Amino acid sequence: MKKYKMKNKHFFVLTIIPVSVFLSVNQAFADDFFDPAFLSFGENTVSDLDLSSYEKDDQLPLGEYYVNISVNSRFNSEELITFYQDKENKLAPLLTPLQLMSFGVNIKDTPYLKDLPEDKPVINLSELIPDYKFTFNENKLDLLFSFPQIVMRNKDNGSTDPLLWDDGVPALILNYNIMGGKTGSNGTKSENLFTQLYGGLNFQAWRLRMNASNSYYKSTSDGKTTSNNNHDINNVRLYRDIKSLKSNLKIGEIFPSLDIFESFPIKGISLSSSNDMIPESLRGFAPTITGYANSNATVTVSQNNNVIYQTYVSPGPFSIDDIRQSQLSGELEITITEADGTVRKQLYASSGLPVMEREGGFKYEASSGEYNSKNSKKKSFLLGAFSYGLPKNITVYGGALISEKYYSTVMGVGTSLGKFGALSVDITTSDTTPENTHQREKGQSYRIKYAKNMLSTGTTIDLAAYRYSTENYHDFNEINNFQYTDNAWANGKQRSSLRLSVSQQLGKYGSVFVAGNREDFWDNKTVNNNLSMGYNGSLNNINYSLSYSIEKKKGDNNTWPEDRRWTANIQIPLSVMSNNEFAKNSSASYSLNGSRNASTTNNLGLRTSFLDNKVGLSLNQDYSHNSDQTNNTNLNANYTGNITNSSVGYSYGNNYNSLNANINGTVVLHEKGVIFSKQAGNTALVLIDAPGAGGTKINTGLSDINSRGQALVFAGNPYNKNSVALDVTTLPDNVEVDSSVINVYPTKDAVVLAKFKTKQGYQVLFTLSHNGSELPFGTIVSAEGDNTNSGIVGDSGQVYLSGLPAEGTILAKWGNSANQSCRSNYNLKKDSTSIDDDNHFIKEVSLQCQ
């Protein structure tokens, strides 16, 4: 028997409530005989009804049930589980190794289980896993599993068994973006068309990707026409993951993965560790928290009065090293609650930087190839880099880059200073011989980074960084791009730079920020200074912001020209003034932009959307205070559909007008055909296959299933569980699904298949009788040839079935003897009437069961 999500509440009550009442009565007489005569209705007796399958709490009929699964007190999924009768004649779930892996059981290290095929059912699991237990609530269809921690991947909180990772189906993916326009200004007319394509091919674990673009421009002025047409193909690369190494292999036009050296373009090959393949709880830096428990205790980690981590520990010393990276930085409160209720607390301050790793964490990269940029030298090179987390919240990192007449090394260390923040220091050396001078030049570049987050005050020092480079230091970009002259490095060669960014939260009053940077250069007097500050706030859904910036640049003549810019913005939802439908989806805005060296511009705008935000309209009016008193009007419309995004805009002002349009989306060619979707970008995709479910909405809210029963949605969490759910309330009337949720575990940029098992057919309410009497309450009725499509007879001999063909046979059984079953043929086109209940049409049929 299966549990289906009923769309009709009346029939749900009709069939389910009587059974629930019956089961609750049965629980009250747990081990006693229950007289079926108590279920008699009028003159009909049911004394021959076999209730043995209901006389115990766990004795529903054997079969398949859609159940809500929780593992070790955490909800896991909703799945179809087969139940069998175990050695103690109790109803027990029949699980496969693949299902156990999805529950977090460490199959590969569990004796006997590790040698079984993934789809082989495991009988008497409790004999293979000591202390394994389950509880099945047949009324709510809740299945609770309890596995001992020793067989779980509990060390990697949030991890997914690599055996679940899905490379997806073969597919050709194409993202397109096409934009074009026409402009007329002062007698000159121009046209432009830009086409950008991004995509490639997926086959097993391999991914081929490339970018292609074409730009066309045409201009006519004074009777003369000029035009040009340029096209380009770049970033051609082939890559795949190496699961056993938790690494990525990339070949082609790529960039270094680790932020150890200055980034530069590569044409070659690279092998590097994959952050995506590491459990979320072990990514990046987080402190290792140690302590001692006197009993079986609960350890709770809180930050800013919010619980961010909790676990159970055994008596003795404990170590916690799997706090998520996003939950670090700031003061942590550690609470140890012993078994007798005794509570002990301690404070632990922590801060981190992007380069840092937790204890034992390791990242690496090995690359080889040539520098890849137009109009530059293309020096061949070898590169190796790493970062490693040591005890005491220390990370060491470094690397080496070797090329013709060039050698560079990096060595650095990062550490958490507790409540004082986090600090990293590194030195990069270079040793090169310029081709024109043939004189060896050695140099160094020193860098310091600092970060601090004070949650109690809301102050964040996002990044303070200082770099100083000696005159003879050269990075790999410089030696490939600069021309070799007598003074090759003098023009624009940076000597030092300082950056600082600080933000302060003001609670309900918003936030403020200050950011600045300073840089100077060798062999010239240029100094760039920039300072910016701003405020952001919100009141009753009205958003507003202010910003001010100063840019000062010292030139060779010792002058300090400066530019000052300021902006003010406010956005007001019209719903603050009215509750009508238009106001709920509309907003007005005003912005002021000014500059010391340019004009001041005012902008007034109105935006609205309708059709579930699929269509948007905006109107903006600009007015500039300059000598020409410029006025500009902009009209824009955009549409977000199931298969594409598109927009069109028109602008006009003093002596000019322009019209532009844009369309973008994604096309995927797969083994079952072609599917169109909104632009997906560089991410994993889920190809939904739900036959007959056209028009059904998906939980992402971004698209609906098309007429062929397919849809394409994004999976933004590679190597982890991504849940795809159908909104069953939007299913067609003649379609139901076994399960509305499917979990997928895509690898990077995979196209994985999520196949929903649908039932297409009629929903029917049968009223059944046998030998002149209604079928007894509790009779199991199923469609012939489909034992999984079944129901339980309720009051008045009625039972609800769905997914039925127009003609067929149903079977009824209320005991194990030959005279406790019957069958009947039906023809819905001849024998039925239709019931309209909440706009869902259900057939009603009365039959004599023979």
Greatest C-alpha distance within the chain? 113
Taking the CA atoms of the chain, what radius of gyration do you get in angstroms?
A: 34
Alpha-helix residue ranges (DSSP H) falling in 537-677? 581-584
Least confident of 97-106, 442-451, 530-539: 97-106
The per-residue DSSP string of 585-619 comes to TEEEEEEEEEETTS-EEEEEEEEEEETTTTEEEEE
Distance of alpha carbon 850 from alpha carbon 807, whole angstroms: 17
Higher pLDDT, 598 or 325: 598
Q: Does the pLDDT at position 48 exceed 70?
A: no
Average pLDDT over residues 624-649: 86
Winning range, highest mean pLDDT, from 44-48, 106-110, 260-264: 260-264
Tokens of 508: 């309900």
Residues in contact with 255: Cβ distance below 8 Å, sequence separation at least 6, in sequence order: 263, 264, 265, 266
Q: Does the pLDDT at position 427 exceed 90?
A: yes
Structural domain boundaries in the chain:
9-155, 286-350, 760-848
The per-residue DSSP string of 288-301 comes to PEEEEESSSEEEEE
Average pLDDT over residues 639-668: 92
Picking from 829, 788, 789, 778, the residue whose alpha carbon sits closest to that of residue 806 is 829
pLDDT at 308: 74
Distance of alpha carbon 199 from alpha carbon 213, whole angstroms: 12
Q: What backbone phi and psi angles, to 5 degrees, belong to 52?
A: -60, -30
3-state class (DSSP) for residue 285: coil
Average pLDDT over residues 812-833: 87
With cut-offs at 50, 70 and 90, classify the pLDDT of residue 27.
Answer: very low
Higher pLDDT, 313 or 203: 203
* Fold annotation for 760-848: Immunoglobulin-like (2.60.40)
Q: Does the pLDDT at position 839 exceed 80?
A: no
Q: Does the pLDDT at position 454 exceed 80?
A: no
Distance of alpha carbon 365 from alpha carbon 368, whole angstroms: 10
Residues in contact with 578: Cβ distance below 8 Å, sequence separation at least 6, in sequence order: none
With cut-offs at 50, 70 and 90, classify the pLDDT of residue 18.
Answer: very low
What is the residue type of 569?
N
Distances (CA, A) of 22 to 2, 620, 651, 777, 794: 19, 66, 71, 9, 10
Distance of alpha carbon 292 from alpha carbon 394, whole angstroms: 23
Q: What's the number of CA atoms in the CB half-sphere (13 Å) around residue 744?
A: 27
> How high does pLDDT run on average in the chain?
83
pLDDT at 2: 35
Q: Does the pLDDT at position 608 exceed 90?
A: yes
Check if the beta carbon of residue 268 is closer than 8 Å to that of residue 367.
yes
pLDDT at 59: 58
Residue percentage of the chain with pLDDT more than 90:
41
9-155 and 286-350 in the same fold: no
| Chain segment 335-365, per-residue pLDDT in tens | 998 888 888 887 766 677 778 888 888 999 9
Check if the beta carbon of residue 341 is closer than 8 Å to that of residue 302.
no
Check if the beta carbon of residue 516 is closer than 8 Å to that of residue 532.
yes
- Residues 430-442 as b or e (16 or more Cβ within 10 Å = b): bbbebeeeeeebe
With cut-offs at 50, 70 and 90, classify the pLDDT of residue 24.
Answer: very low
Count of other CB atoms within 10 angstroms of residue 816 = 10
| Chain segment 111-162, per-residue pLDDT in tens | 778 888 888 889 889 888 888 899 998 888 899 998 877 787 754 456 688 8
Distance of alpha carbon 459 from alpha carbon 450, whole angstroms: 14
The long-range contacts involving 230-238, CB below 8 angstroms and separated by at least 24 positions, are 234/210, 235/209, 235/210, 235/211, 236/209, 236/210, 237/208, 237/209, 237/210, 238/206, 238/207, 238/208, 238/209
CATH for 9-155 (3.40.50.620, 3.40.50.150, 3.30.200.20, 3.10.20.410): 3.10.20.410
Q: Please work out, in degrees rounded to the nearest 5, the angle formed at the alpha carbon of residue 643 by the alpha carbons of 212 and 180.
A: 45
Distance of alpha carbon 825 from alpha carbon 766, whole angstroms: 12
Q: Does the pLDDT at position 42 exceed 50?
A: no
With cut-offs at 50, 70 and 90, classify the pLDDT of residue 462.
Answer: low
Homologous superfamily assigned to 286-350: Outer membrane usher protein (2.60.40.3110)
